Amino acid sequence: MNLLNPKVKEYIEGAIPARKAPFYEMEAYAKEHGFPIIGPLVGTLLKQIAYSIKAKMIFELGSGYGYSALWMAQALPEDGKIYLTDRKEENKQMAIRHFEKAGLL
């Protein structure tokens, strides 16, 4: 079910700044494995919210492999902290690798 008019979606997606390589890898993984992620539209919104409230610390419950956390982490100051949680060790390790690739660890 598509709630957004395709032309509106195309316009919004065109306004999203280029993403770092880990995002594309994570999106491809999600598509290949049927792993639910928020996608770049919502990711951009979360990043903007974190930035606008000048977040210094973020706690995410149920982080999966860190896709949404990676979006929000970009808005944190140098001394900011983000805490990810997931019950699967495999997801935690994937998140760490993606954060390292993005230069955030």
The domain in which residue 46 lies consists of 6-12+19-101
Residue appearing with tokens 């491809």: 28
Does a structural domain hold residue 32? yes
What is residue 69's predicted lDDT score, i.e. its pLDDT? 98
Task: Give the total number of structural domains in the chain.
Answer: 1
What is residue 46's predicted lDDT score, i.e. its pLDDT? 94
pLDDT 10s digits, 28-78: 999 999 999 999 989 999 999 999 999 999 999 999 999 999 999 999 999
Are 79 and 104 in contact by the 8 Å Cβ rule? The answer is no
CATH number for the domain that contains residue 24: 3.40.50.150
pTM (2 d.p.): 0.86
Does a structural domain hold residue 1? no
What type of residue is 86?
A: D
> Mean pLDDT, to the nearest integer, of 21-30?
95
Does a structural domain hold residue 50? yes
Does a structural domain hold residue 74? yes
Are 51 and 76 in contact by the 8 Å Cβ rule? The answer is no
Q: Which residue blocks in the chain are alpha helix, DSSP H?
A: 6-15, 21-33, 39-52, 67-73, 89-101
What type of residue is 87?
A: R
Are 58 and 85 in contact by the 8 Å Cβ rule? The answer is no
